[in-house]
Amino acid sequence: MESVMQSLISGIVVGSIYALIALGFVLIYKSTAVINFAQGELLMFGAYLCLTLVVAFKIPFWVAFFTTLLAAALLGFLLERLFLRPMIGEPAISIIMLTIGLASLLQGMIHVTWGSETMVYPVIFPTEPLRFGGIVVSQVYLYSVFFAVLCLVLFNLFFRYSSSGIAMRAVANDQQAAQSMGISIKKIFAIAWAIAAVVAAVGGILIGNINGVNTSLSGFGLKVFPAVILGGLDSIPGAILGGFIIGLLEALSGIYLDPIFEGGSKEVVPFVVLVVVLMIKPYGLFGTEEIEKI
């Protein structure tokens, strides 16, 4: 029982980070109707940059953390301005292929800059584990959940109450109506990409503190994709719930299915569940169903 609870805690930690990264996918899709396949590379960029600032430049972690977020926002803004904005009005498949190309470009640049060896963050959080009965929880797990949930709450408040957040919601609902009300669509697109890069960077830093940093971090972009589709591509609450569901599914499959299939099941089970859910609800659990009238 204790091993199950230990795995569930790990699933909640990973799920909270998945939810944060999934938020970036949904933001870009809601604002621009584009699926960003470079999200994993943005995550990897944040993890490497923060680590470099802390280790190579001896900058305190929290200063490096917020500096990385600023750099990630700038990167997201530049990607939208230089590559995505000229593609406005082009077929969706062309823009999707562009994001795949951007993913390869960013991954190559990161590989050239930092190499492929695993790098480890210095000790940032207390190393003494906390005990709850027979369950041992690393403090880095608790800090990761706290910061992931804090970011989700802050972004939710931003979308609900800030003028830019309200404008983003208006653009997501109807771009033409929002533009007729004086909202700059191009500005909203840039903000969406900047925020997506920021949440990816936060996720990368948290994962890097848990698992270390290497080029395989980009794979988290693909691992989060089932959470995005499961919750609904255009649903922020769905992305959050989907992230936690996928995190818990990975944890439980590692306990109950890995002994049967000799490992690797947690990499497959989320996609199997995703296919089953989409057969029943093609737009995900909370996605907006589109009805075309002929």
* CA 251 – CA 10 distance, rounded (Å): 7
Q: What does each of the 294 residues of the chain score in pLDDT, given as a tens digit?
A: 667 787 888 888 889 999 988 988 888 887 777 888 999 999 999 999 999 999 999 999 999 999 999 999 999 999 999 998 888 778 878 888 999 999 999 999 999 999 988 999 998 888 888 887 777 788 888 888 888 888 888 888 888 888 888 888 787 777 778 888 888 888 888 998 999 999 999 999 999 999 899 988 988 888 888 888 888 887 888 888 889 999 999 888 888 888 888 777 888 888 888 888 888 888 888 776 665 555
Residue 230 class from Cβ within 10 Å (0-12 exposed, 13-18 middle, 19+ buried)? Answer: buried
Q: Reduce the DSSP state of residue 119 to 3 states and report it.
A: strand
Distance CA 248, CA 13 (A): 9
pTM score of the predicted model: 0.90
Cβ atoms of 257 and 265 closer than 8 Å: yes
> Which run of H or E residues covers position 196?
helix 185-211
Kindly state the greatest CA–CA separation across the chain: 63
CA separation, residue 294 to residues 223, 284, 289, 291 (Å): 37, 24, 16, 10
**How far apart are the C-alpha atoms of 184 and 251, rounded to whole Å?**
43
